[in-house]
Amino acid sequence: MREEVVGRANVEDTPELVAYYKDLERFETGALWTVANQIEPWQPKSTSVPVLWRYADLREPVLRSVSLVSPEKAGRRVIYLNNPGRRDVSAAVGWLYSGLQVMHPGEVATSHAHSASALRFIMEGSGAYTVVDGHKMTLGGNDFVLTPNGTWHEHGVEASGSTCIWQDGLDIPFVNAMEANFFAVHPDLYQKVGYAVDDMTKTWGNAGLMPSTGEWSKRYSPMLKYEWAPTYDALTRYAKTTDGSPFDGVHMKYVNPATGGHVMQTIGAGMQMLRPGERTKAHRHTGSFIYQCAKGSGYSIIGGQRFEWTERDIFCVPSWAWHEHGNASASDDACLFSFNDLPVIEGLGLYREEALGDNEGFQRVV
Ligand code: GTQ
């Protein structure tokens, strides 16, 4: 890939050079100028494509998996979201994985731990629970749960509950890219619950208040579960005092209450409200995002393509893709849950943002 720009590789093939390249291959080497323009693009070039996964399409095939495999045999019974540009790494976008897990009442998947960090966002059903390092959490619709890197975790649905489906979000592709992924099955297969149910949310999830004796030194949020009702309440309250972001409407991020930072080391998450009739401006930034509509319906224009979404639909915005969101309803608000790799992007100094028509934007490091 030659480019006729000073400072870029622009070497034409000659028989002598072609022979030289062949020679270099013998020693597991290559000439940088044959690949330089490709491996150093002028700006990020995502191989991910924007995709919308409609719940109306996915629900039936996900439910069908219940009669085809047991959680015991499958380990976890999950249908994963496979971005056409990222099939080689099983990613939904960039280096993020997403899947829909289904469980029947009375089912429980064995406890395990891995280097990848995980989250769940509950789509439907009642009686679901997750146990993370002995902390049991009950899960309702639109609740957001963490299973950070290295923690023992297992999921199940109480016998008294109903069939549950939730979205799993993980950084598996990223941790694999780092060649740092370990996996372990719990020696007892299932954990003992060591604390009062929902203790971490009750301890750490009180707006503006922390236990005065509370200490937390782990590198993820001690508030392992963020419930929908207080999240929606916070957005509604904030919406009363803010115009919101021109790009994201009323947007709040889930934080580690002990630090104010992202919930996990590699994955961040947020919830945004688009007010009735709101349409945001287009921008683009580094970092990959997976969205799930938590309430209402609307549309997003991503890389020039329009996607109409409604509750429980999932879509992705690849890194550096232009995107804007709209709420088509004149009377109801719409809420989008999203998770992302911003802790990695920001932590490594790689965040860049540009507003449409803002040519200087790429210089701005936020
Ligand atoms: O339950 O931790 O969808 O390890 C994929 C891999 C869920 C999990 C997935 C996993 C999990």
Q: Read off the pLDDT of residues 29-61 as tens digits, 9 standing for 90 and up.
A: 999 999 999 999 999 999 999 999 999 999 999
Q: Decide if 24 is inside a domain.
A: no
pLDDT in tens, 210-232: 999 878 999 999 999 999 999 99
| Structural domain span for residue 111 | 52-66+76-355
Measured by CA distance, the residue closest to atom 9 of ligand 1 is 168
Q: Decide if 3 is inside a domain.
A: no
- Give me 255's structure tokens: 């934080």
Question: Mutate which of 65, 69, 77, 78 to test ligand 1's pocket (most atoms within 8 Å of Cβ)?
Answer: 78
| CA of residue 339 to ligand 1 center, whole Å | 16
Buried b (16+ CB within 10 A) or exposed e, 212-243: eeeebeeebbbbbbbbbeebbebbeeebeeee
Question: pLDDT band for position 1 (50/70/90)?
Answer: confident
Q: Decide if 39 is inside a domain.
A: no
Q: Decide if 327 is inside a domain.
A: yes
- Which pLDDT belongs to residue 72? 85
What is the CATH classification number for the domain harbouring 305? 2.60.120.10
Which atom of ligand 1 lies closest to the CA of 153? 2
Q: Decide if 34 is inside a domain.
A: no
Q: Decide if 17 is inside a domain.
A: no
Q: Decide if 21 is inside a domain.
A: no
* Strand ranges of the sheet holding 334-340, from the earlier edge strand across to the other edge: 52-53, 314-317, 289-295, 334-340, 268-274, 250-253
| CA of residue 148 to ligand 1 center, whole Å | 11
pLDDT in tens, 182-201: 999 999 999 999 999 999 99
pLDDT in tens, 61-114: 999 999 999 988 898 999 999 999 999 999 999 999 999 999 999 999 999 999
Q: Decide if 231 is inside a domain.
A: yes
228: CB partners within 8 A, 6+ apart: 140, 141, 142, 143, 144, 294
The Cα–Cα gap between 170 and 172 comes to: 5
How many domains does one find in the chain? 1
Apex 266 CA angle, 261 and 271, nearest 5: 60
Ligand 1: list residues with CB < 6 Å. Answer: 76, 78, 99, 101, 114, 118, 147, 168, 170
- Which pLDDT belongs to residue 229? 98
| CA of residue 118 to ligand 1 center, whole Å | 7
- Which pLDDT belongs to residue 361? 44
297 half-sphere exposure, CB direction, 13 A CA radius: 9
To the question of pTM greater than 0.85 for the whole model, the response is: yes
| CA of residue 178 to ligand 1 center, whole Å | 18
| CA of residue 363 to ligand 1 center, whole Å | 37
- Give me 90's structure tokens: 């099983």
Beta bridge mates, 167: 100, 121
Question: pLDDT band for position 359 (50/70/90)?
Answer: low
Q: What share of the chain is helix, strand, coil (3-state, %, to 5)?
A: 20, 30, 50
